[in-house]
Each structure stands twice: as C-alpha cells, then as structure tokens.
Amino acid sequence: MSGRSALRIYGENAATFLIFQALALTPETITNVLLANLKQFGSGRRHGTTKASAFEVWLFPSFGKGSGFGEPDVLLISEHDVFWIEVETTIDCQRAAAGLRSALLQLRRFHLFQCALAQGPKVHGDAKRIVGTTIGNDHKARLATVKLAGHGVLKELASRLTRLGVERRDHYVLFTVDKPRGPGKASSYKEALQSAARQLNDAEKDLPSLPIARCWYAYWNGDIKPKFENQSGALLSFDSHYVRIKRRARTKRSPRG
C-alpha cells in the first residue's frame, strides 16, 4: 500500500512530544545543546553547561487543573537542577503580546508551586495535600491544592523538587517552536521578556515573584534544531505534517492553572 502518510500533528503538545522525545533519546544534547544555549531574560546571557548529571524528561505532568497549580509542558530534572518549561508555537510581541503574558503567567504558577512544596504537605479536607496560592486566569490570587495520594509524579519527585527549590536551583524556560518576534524599534525580545515578567510580578506583589534571573528562553527552528542535528547526527523535521496553531491576538488560553 502506498500513498502519503495520514499522520498529522497539531499544536504545541505535538511539537513538544517530538522535540523532547528526540532530546531524551540523545541525552548528551540536553546539556550540550538545549541547556547550554538557553538565554537569560533581559541580558541574553547563555546558561552554559551544567553539572554532569542524568536528566529525566517528564512531559505534561499535571499538578492539578482547576483548583490546582497547573500543568507544565516539560519538567526537566536532575539531581542538581530542575527546569520548568512552557512551550509555545511562537511568541509575537507586536501582534499578540497577550500570548507572552499568558506564557509568563504559566511560569509564575510553576514557581508558586515550588514555593508551596517548600512548605511541606498539609492535611486539607480529607487528605494530605500540597497547599498554596496561585494566580488564576483572571490574574487574581486563589487557593490551590494538589492531593499527594496516588500522584505518580509527586511520589517520585516531591522531595527532589522541594530540595532544588530551597537551593534555588529551579529554573523557568519559555521555549518556542518557531523564532519569536520581538517588539521592534529599540527593544529586543530578551528585553521584552524581562519587562513583561516584571509587570507580571508587580501585579500580585504579595506573592513570591518569578525569579527573573533564573528565567530563560530558546527556540527550536533556526536555533536549537541545527545545533541538535550537528551534535546528534540525527535529522528531526516535522514541518510537513505539523499543523501550527494560529492566533491573531491571543487574550486568553484554556484554563490550566
């Protein structure tokens, strides 16, 4: 039987799976390519190499929707560092600035979860839970909880996540499939990220701020992809069957936190 493959993949989750599966299958590229080429919000300084350690790649680990803390696209964790990664098709600071604010809100939610972990489990309602404060889609603070019993991710990672958070080895990454578009004029993308993160922190000053010094960005096409292919010798192209989500001016995203 011949003919064109019927496989079609849509949106960030599909791209996330393909990219981070490829990285996981060639573990050296996680440290030598992805992490080494992360750029810091504001300065653009590269993260550089990390301590030699095996990283685990967790895709879409949920820490509670609705009443919980949200769902990162990727959790990249070793004994020495943890990276909370939000994946977008792209970020366009000129035509869809709300998309940037929404992505950064996700990163701040993950940091708030790290802060809640540091407080330890509490009896809340009928069970032991991680209890803390997060920010809803209305940008207002609200109570968040996630039950420990039966939570496969927290069973394996809670103690390590807690320790890395206390040691300030928790990092937050905005990763785009396509090259992002900055605001133009005299401002760059890295500066736009820093400015938007500061505005987000100012919105709820009573809550722990997103640690901008530990916030990073990267993009796949034109940046990480050629470096990955050069390091691994593997070609990863999915543009022929990847259907991008197109947004004219994104103001809201589906509730995830």
Residue 257: predicted pLDDT: 44
Domains in the chain, number: 1
- Per-residue pLDDT, averaged over 99-104, amounts to 94
- Per-residue pLDDT, averaged over 32-45, amounts to 96
Q: What is the pLDDT of residues 156-210, one digit of tens each?
A: 999 999 999 999 999 999 999 999 988 876 679 999 999 999 999 998 889 999 9
- Specify the pairing of strand 215-219 against strand 122-124: unpaired
Is residue 3 situated within a structural domain?
Answer: no
Q: How confident is the model at residue 124 (pLDDT cuts 50, 70, 90)?
A: confident
Closest listed residue to residue 78, CA positions, set 164, 162, 151: 164
Is residue 155 situated within a structural domain?
Answer: yes
Domain limits for position 116 = 9-43+58-243
CB 86 within 8 A of CB 174: yes
* Phi, psi values for residue 79, rounded to 5°: -75, -15
Q: What DSSP designation does 180 have?
A: P
* Residue that the structure tokens 């929404």 belong to: 102
What's the rounded Cα separation, in Å, for the pair 239 and 71? 26
DSSP 3-state of 149: coil
Residue 34: predicted pLDDT: 96
Query: Six-digit token pair at 164?
Result: 């890395």
Is residue 107 situated within a structural domain?
Answer: yes
Q: What is the pLDDT of residues 225-251, one digit of tens each?
A: 999 999 999 888 776 666 676 655 443
CB 181 within 8 A of CB 92: yes
What's the rounded Cα separation, in Å, for the pair 10 and 243? 5
List the single range of 32-36, 112-116, 182-186, 220-224 with lowest mean pLDDT: 182-186
Residue 255: predicted pLDDT: 44
Query: Six-digit token pair at 103?
Result: 């992505």
